[in-house]
Structure 1
Amino acid sequence: MSTLIFFFLTLKLPVLLCKLVFPGCPVSWTDYVCQDGDMMISAFLPLYTYQNSQHSEGPQDTKFQQRYPEDIFLARLWEIYFNCPLLPASCTLVENCSYTGSLEWLPWYHFDSAMSDGSYHVYNAVYAVAHTLHKVLMQQVDMQVVKNGGRMKFPPWKLNHILKNIQFTNPSGDAVNLHPSEKLHVEYDILNFWNFPQGLGYKVKVGTFSPFYPPGQQLSLSEDKIKWSTGVRETPISVCSESCVPGFRKSFREGKAVCCFDCSLCPENEISNETVDMEQCVKCPDDQYANTEQTHCLQKAVTFLSYENPLGITLASMALASSTLTGLILVVFVKHQNTPVVKANNRTLSYILLISLIFCFLCSLLFIGQPNTTTCILQQITFGVIFTVAVSTVLAKTITVVLAFKITMPGRRMRGLLKSGTPKSISFLSV
């Protein structure tokens, strides 16, 4: 709306003011045809928006003809469509021309009695100029009146400033606001050109946009009413990149529009399956894993050796039997701890070795049954520590035997190492 008024005022406001102030000003008028709305001159997308106003019905042409019979433009229309000759001198119809015809009989694309889109904008533009002139005259600001010639001077900057901020309600009841920083809350009709047959140019309302409705419900569009010049009924889609299938995510291209992207495979153990064109993949929970296509998370199968299983029963029985046998040997050693045989076998290291062997056999029970966090931690730590103690004890006993043979040879001074507890220290350091 503001664009059209600016165009109108730029071309014709000086001429209009000249005619208002100097009725005898010799000027000529030229008509310009402007397309209103956000018109897209394209055979592919013949849609445009138009402000929804109550101005569709104009004055009836019969009453207008009776009121202004001398109008030369009406006479020209009668000459074109009803073959009525004109008098060259006065550009009026000859007397014997029949007035039984009516301009209402003509197709709307030849003569539309309703106010057209462009006419409505010109209608508002004229009222905007009129309100501006009225406001300047009422304010009596920067205006000089010359009594002799009755001449008035209108500073252009003053008119321009007022015109850019003018607000009024036209006779149709529509609010007109030319302020550049204010937004009018008005409804818009979405129209579609039906150009079949070629040149028809019939406008059909296919939707509306109303700012008075909640967000998400402001746009109403009937796509089945839209006629595309390509001959298809479905709405054409313009895309830069094809949609990413499940298992992939969008990777935006640097410096490109948001509709331009690449499809990247989701990282390991992540999926994308809910909708297409996902920007981020979803990581599977700890108890699940992604399938090969990375579109679903699958439950991890928990496999463990149970006590009901034959192998589980066998291993548990062997562990208990071995630990029991080792425990009996430990009892025998404790009972006969003061005998020369036990003392010669390094009594302390023997106790440590037997106890560690008992626990090594019992550690196998941690690997049988349904695992949990506690058992998983104990499986690694307990067995590692106990087995290390057992191996280091065997190493210490081996060193004791080697030292025992060494000190029996004449001239050796290694008897002190055997008495000072060196094997026990080696066992401790090995652990």
Structure 2
Amino acid sequence: MTATQPDAAASTGTFDLMDERLLRDPFTGYSRIREQTPITRATIPGIEPPWVVTRHEDVKAVLGDPRFVTNPARVPGSTGVNIAEMVLKARGVSDEHARYLLANILEFDGADHARLRRLVSRAFTVRRVAQLRPRNEEITEDLLDRLPDMAEDGVVDLLRHFAYPLPIIVICELVGIPEQDRPRWRTASAALVDPTGAGLADALADVVDHTRQLIEQRRAEPADDLISGLIRAQDEDGDRLSDTEMIAMILTLLIAGHETTAHLVGNGTVALLTHPDQLALLRDDPELMPGAVHELLRWCGPAQATRMRYATEDVRIGDVLVRRGEAVMPILVAANYDPRVFADPDRLDLTRERDGRGERHVAFAHGLHYCLGAPLARQEGEVAFGALLRRFPDLTLAVPPEELVRELVPGAWRLAALPVRL
């Protein structure tokens, strides 16, 4: 079947996930697909066309259904082919180092996932995250102090000099990465999300070896950090955490906690600066900030889609029967713009009411694989936006919004740079 443009998905039954129009405006493109057909197929080079679900109800259903797993090897009768493993090999990553990415919590489902989540949750508690806020605020103020010195001809790249360094410093302090070693983690994080795969093998080898060294140091001299907490969890009760799983967990938390939060700050800043009415509301009433961060996550969140889910048995989604072993990709941006759940979804509304039972958006996914770092990401967003708007009341974009350059990566919404005038 020939793949077509997004607006033809309903008539052909498939669309091209790499279509440039969709990458440049996923909000409009996926909303059109959602209203034409709630479940369709997408073409992705090198793999069988997966199913794509776009309506809020269906996205939450797939993410919350244990019959869908993230690791295709868990499908009964599976040949054991793992797409992630194939990609890593194609990018020159050795089997020795690939296992630390393949053993991460995102690759596990069911009891194994619950075991790992329970262990890391002991060291990554809401209380521990709340205790980080004063230090988060100090880091934020320090970065903002330096911003004017980073300007060239009155223009500074807010992404490079604020949005990127802030979350890597915060997560490194939480995990226990010494200050002098943090640049190598930023390099590794960038390499892991680079769609070209450039530098991935070397960067991964470097941080894996470094993590091994840190674990040995903390075993000898425990500290008040997540690495020490994981070591303690490893030694308690029967829920053993292997060294491979521990290294994989540290890598996942550091990398996932860096890129997505950086682009939340970048995307959210653009949204506020291009909606002066909403910006004025937030300046006048800082108490709106927690809800504002939720709305920014819904309206311009950095994660547009989740990892593939694989059906472990035949499952019906609406009028479509998804066969055992078939892949399904939930589209978060389509769900977050679903008018069945959000009134006037295209409108940025920082006063948008939540339903009182928690967040309605799915920016952090849903179900078993709900983002473990969501409380920290929300806190970082609140602190970053609050301090940025207070410190620089005349902040403006240095270029027209349509001239901002975005990295055209399927499933992600992120800027290449964010030039502003302070």
More helix by share: 2
Q: Rg: which structure is higher?
A: 1
TM-score under structure 2 normalisation? Answer: 0.21
Higher relative contact order (CA 8 A, sep 6+): 2
More strand by share: 1
